[in-house]
């Protein structure tokens, strides 16, 4: 495994309860790392504490990660050094584990079945118990992120293939997970049976791509195919995509805060549901339930802009000209102006 520079662009911040991490993965494209960079850039709003990319050429892994924003961590040189046709990436906000570089994902290991990298969005409610059991069997942890528990479960599995080992591991964890795993010859994506966090599947020039939000597909010009279904695991290699449903079905329990705040307004999440009209509907309902005599309505944070606009309209207030169709604050950047370009 080859590691490129790992650095920090800001000092670590205290851990806090945040859940809006972003994942991205692509398999079978010679510009895999570059496309992953763009996918993370489009999803910067989901995680601004740290970012990382791992790529594979089928034999070796190449990694670059750091603390800070995507555009500050990666340069032309660092992305060029991420060789291979498969890659995964992650934007982090602390959910479990402190906000230092050891917890920035993807987490990477090398074990009997080869190289493995993992990027995870969500929270595992039984991570502490599983960690204690694994440590009792001699497992050594390099971070305090609950995502590392999944890697150890894969390594301890008795399955005879990587896919079977991943299934074994995921059947033991409880909680919310939308994750991507990169191996020497596979890209694997999985979602918990409740579908708590979004995870979408797309196609870019014949290559499969996976992302937390479809805004990542829009930026690179990929086609949205469908969501990874709750309780589904997809395994992608050079022969194509195989779908598995190894978990006991559960009633859907999707996070409403994805619509309220986390997701970008131009994304589609939880299937083909667009965030933009849902936020407008929230504003109409709020205007009906909470009529107010006021001079001004201020959205805090900026994701409340659409609700404010609709509330003013419902109350019959005079609407000033406003050019914003979608939120374009620093946390919702719509275009990086092709900073490194995409080779055809």
Q: Which residues are catalytic?
A: 21
Buried b / exposed e along 198-226 (16+ C-beta atoms within 10 A) = bbbbbebeebbbbbbbbbbbbbbebebee
| Helix pair 162-170, 147-156: axis angle to 10 deg | 130
Q: What is the DSSP letter of 101?
A: G
Query: Using an 8 Å Cβ cutoff, are 201 and 210 in contact?
Result: yes
SS3 call for 154: helix
Please, which contacts does 275-279 make with residues 24 or more away whose CB atoms are closer than 8 Å? 276/306, 276/326, 279/303, 279/306, 279/307
Q: Which residues are CB-contacts of 333 (< 8 A; sequence separation ≥ 6)?
A: 41, 42, 44, 45
Which pair of structure tokens corresponds to residue 25?
A: 């993965």
């Amino acid at each position: 495994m080859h590691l490129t520079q790992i650095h920090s662009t800001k000092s670590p911040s205290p851990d806090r309860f945040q859940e809006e991490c972003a994942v991205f993965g692509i398999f079978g494209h010679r510009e895999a790392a570059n496309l992953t960079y763009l996918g993370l850039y489009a999803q910067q709003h989901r995680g601004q504490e740290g970012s990382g990319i791992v790529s594979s050429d089928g034999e070796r892994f190449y990694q670059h990660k750091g603390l800070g924003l995507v555009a500050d961590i990666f340069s032309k040189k660092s992305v060029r050094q991420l060789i291979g046709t498969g890659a995964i990436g992650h934007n982090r906000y602390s959910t479990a584990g402190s906000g230092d570089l050891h917890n920035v994902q993807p987490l990477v290991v090398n074990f009997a079945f080869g190289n493995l990298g993992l990027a995870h969005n969500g929270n595992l409610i039984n991570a502490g118990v599983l960690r204690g059991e694994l440590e009792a069997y001699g497992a050594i942890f390099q971070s305090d992120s609950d995502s590392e528990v999944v890697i150890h479960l894969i390594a301890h599995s008795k399955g005879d293939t990587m896919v079977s080992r991943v299934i074994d591991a995921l059947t033991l964890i409880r909680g919310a997970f939308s994750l991507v795993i990169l191996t020497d010859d596979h890209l694997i994506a999985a979602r918990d049976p409740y579908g708590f966090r979004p995870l979408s599947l797309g196609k870019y020039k014949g290559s499969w791509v996976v992302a937390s939000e479809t805004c990542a597909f829009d930026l690179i010009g990929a086609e949205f195919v469908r969501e990874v279904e709750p309780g589904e695991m997809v395994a992608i290699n050079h022969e194509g995509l195989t779908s598995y449903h190894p978990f006991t079905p559960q009633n859907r329990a999707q996070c409403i805060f994805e619509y309220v705040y986390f997701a970008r307004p131009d994304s589609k999440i939880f299937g083909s549901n667009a965030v933009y009209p849902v936020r407008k509907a929230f504003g109409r309902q709020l205007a009906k339930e909470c009529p107010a005599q006021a001079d001004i309505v201020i959205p805090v944070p900026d994701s409340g802009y659409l609700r404010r606009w609709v509330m003013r309209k419902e109350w019959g207030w005079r609407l000033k000209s406003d050019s914003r169709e979608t939120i374009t604050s620093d946390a919702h950047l719509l275009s990086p102006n092709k900073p490194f370009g995409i080779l055809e």
